[in-house]
Structure 1
């Protein structure tokens, strides 16, 4: 039987393995079931090991189904660890070797094959990882069209003295990091409440929604801190992952909703939404629901499920669609203000509003670009020991974005953008006439 199709699948898997950046899993102690799976490679997860790293693998209820007239070679089905540094070497070796099986490669850390199974078709062993690096735990099946079923239990951890740390090297700082940002948002919330209380007359409904957004964001962060803390100490989140995803769901919907509402000028420029603005919300909110479902699937499972890559792509595409959709209300407001400034005789006031919304547009675009592109680049190029840096950068950018936007649209009795002297009208009108078309 020709091995070309099998090699093609193997090449595709290895390429995806090198390019994919799986979302951090919710636990580093996992128990799962593989059922009638004929994939040549199944990646379970990535983990950053220190010099005192360990991986424990337990398989049970192992069975396989072979095609007719096919002899299954049990030595060609097994588990191994593979680092990204050795990935290219494996691919070169594959191209140069006929009937290649990755389990025979000299560049992998071989663990065991089905030849090592006990009489009840089970296996349980712990392996030390003496060379620190980020490894992927992979199951290889070099028997084409052979369907494998098994229960798999894995534990990955690093030792800190006698204590097990189930968070990968590079993520072990996350509990403290999330808690620090939680305290920052609590302080931010206190300042926002003070500003709103001090300027009660100028408080609009949007300011209350903005305050709720800060509260949800803070709760999301404290849940993330608890989630990572329990994973770090015990290997499982003890239910904190459920609360985390609940607040992440609310935070995602509220953030995009607040951006849309501010972009339309709702409550502080006009008391109602136009039909097209309502349609944007009707599109963004359901998309955020789907995006959060995809986020839960990718975060709570892993590449071992057959549709994991599809869910990951769904999340990315919907997130991009939402980012594009929320820009439209801001653009509409800018165009409306530009047209109004030429006809209603309030040039200075409209020029100030126009300046405000232009700044808001630039800040939103910059925030979306940084958190979607720059943060992804940081995750890709940063060494595994410093994966926390991308999280810190993302949270710092989010905090800066919140603070800047909230400052721009804070409730102030005599806001410089909305309360202007009549003497400024003539100069403002001239400025609007000379204003070049705003590039969007």
Structure 2
């Protein structure tokens, strides 16, 4: 990569990173035709606060004559609202059955454009304080000392655009979801898309717990990353010591593995620092974010590239890559780079943006392609060894290599299963306060993969992997020359047994080169 391309790459990452505002979020919608917008999801402790500022609100029709035609915000204590909207496309949550509304424990904030008020309706909601943020602050309690019933906030309007600011203080911990809804009887297409010109507004949301801007389930994550950074650095030091003490048995792939572990340690450390600054300041610091994203891109590409190289046996079984292996690397590495960029885009996209779901699907798609691609060379090697063990007279060594590749295949499958499928299954089933467990599972799975791979591929004379590479040195060099076309007409003679005493030794292959080279 030239210096010009590298500078462009860093600038792109910096621009993307600077757009990430983490827990201090600002969402801008212009002529958005959706009738339902998911704004924020956050795990609050007792005393946590939610500050909302809605500015420049306007929609195509401000006068809703029917009581059923309403616009407003909904604050709920679980994902019942989201599940209802996804399973009842075209309907409105304001019109949901009473049983659904009660189970959702929702707070309605309905917009009255004529009276310029925001009507607050409590539906079995936990105890909170709701305060209007303006010149004169009016505070009233929900499920508190004030009698039940509708309350109002000033919904100030000017030139057809309205604004309101309020703060919610939570007295019960939980996972709260803030959503925007627009209900009009004749204004919808299918899948929640409105038939009129749409709605425009800017909404700023600040989510904060008493001691951190992080959600309750994310608070321990920064410390977890720091611990795993130390673990990966310790693995790097151990691996570097082994390489220095066994120089005569070190291959290029061993050095590549050392670089990978070091990059992993640095990437995890920067990720932890990034989350720490988000917890303290509510947003990430640009310098740390840029360094993290760059290292994450390099580390991700190197991880999958190293798995592919090990799967093809590069430097362990052969000192070259055939055309098929090179093509696979050319495919896997760019896909992994795109996957990491998709992750960055997914991270910086606000949850209410229309491209949020698209970014999420793109990230999952590229991630699955990368996982499938790294398995291909292992399957090729297993298939090749199964065929070779029956035809080339070196059945013992080929069967040993076959078992080793099968072990490597199983380990990679387990790694992908644990860090992808199991991680997401746990994420969807455990309570929000224990979301940090998914981070432990992912990083622990990576650490175990590094430990197993290091144990199997460590540079030692008695290592079965490296012993196989020494036995195949002559075969691989012959194959490389044949592939290059230099010895296209070379004649292979049948092997002879030296003696009965050496009957269990490998057959001796002699290549007659003189006649071919004389021509």
Match of 2:54 among 46, 59, 71: 59
Aligned mate of 2:308, from 250, 260, 263 = 260
Residue 200 of structure 1 and its aligned partner are, at CA, apart by 1.0
Which residues of 2 match residues 282-321 of structure 1 at below 5 A?
282-321=330-369
Secondary structure of 1:326's aligned partner: helix
| 2:261 alignment partner in structure 1 | 214
Between the aligned partners of 2:67 and 2:465, the Cα distance in structure 1 is: 75
Distance, in Å, in 1 between the alignment partners of 2:281 and 2:93 is: 42
Cα deviation code 1:121-170 (max 9, x no counterpart): 222211112232112221112243352212211101111xxx4x111111
Take 1:327 and 1:253, find their aligned partners in 2: how far apart are those partners? 15
Do residues 77 (structure 1) and 125 (structure 2) align? no
Gaps of 5+ in 1: 1-24, 430-440
Give the C-alpha shift of residue 172 in structure 1.
Answer: 0.3
Unpaired runs of at least 5, structure 2 = 1-19, 119-154, 188-195, 472-500, 508-519
Structure 1 segment 81-96 matched on structure 2, within 5 A: 81-84=75-78, 86-87=80-81
| Cα distance in 2 between the residues matched to 1:101 and 1:156 | 28
Equivalent runs, 1:26-425 vs 2, <5 Å: 27-66=22-61, 76-84=70-78, 86-87=80-81, 100-101=94-95, 105=101, 107-111=105-109, 113=111, 115-116=117-118, 117-120=155-158, 121-143=162-184, 144=187, 145=196, 147-159=198-210, 163=211, 165-239=212-286, 240-419=288-467
Seen in structure 2, the aligned counterparts of structure 1 residues 92 and 251 have a Cα distance that, compared at 3 Å, is closer
Q: Which has the larger radius of gyration?
A: 2
Shift of 1:409: 1.2
Matches of 2:107 and 2:252, distance apart in 1:
59
**CA 1:291 to 1:362, structure 2 compared with 1: closer, same or farther past 3 Å?**
same
Distance 1:425 1:261, change over 3 A: farther
TM superposition shift of 1:192: 0.8
Whole-angstrom distance in 1 between the partners of 2:383 and 2:362: 32
Report the 3-state secondary structure (helix = DSSP H, G, I; strand = E; otherwise coil) of the residue aligned with 2:464.
coil
TM, length-normalised to structure 1: 0.82
Offset of residue 119 of structure 1: 3.8
- Post-superposition Cα deviations, 1:81-119, rounded to whole Å, max 9, x if no partner, equal 223364499679989x99945799553123463633224
User: What is the aligned-residue RMSD (CA, Å)?
Assistant: 3.2
Deviation at residue 348 of structure 1 after TM alignment:
3.5
Distance 1:37 1:181 in 2: 43
After superposition, the C-alpha distances for 1:67-93 in whole angstroms (9 at most, x for unaligned) are: 9x9869898222222233644996799
SS at match of 1:419: helix
Query: Contact conserved, 2:79 with 2:177, CA < 8 A, in 1?
Result: no
- Once residues 371 and 351 of structure 2 are traced to their aligned partners in structure 1, the CA distance between those partners, rounded to angstroms, is 26
| Conserved? CA contact 2:459–2:466, under 8 Å | no
> Contact between 1:76 and 1:101, CA under 8 Å: does it hold in 2?
no
Hey, what's the Cα distance between the residues in 2 that align with 1:214 and 1:92?
A: 42
How many residue pairs get aligned? The number is 399
Separation (CA, whole Å) in 2 of partners of 1:253 and 1:137 = 37
CA contact (8 A) 2:44 2:208 kept: yes
Structure 2 length as normaliser, TM-score? 0.70
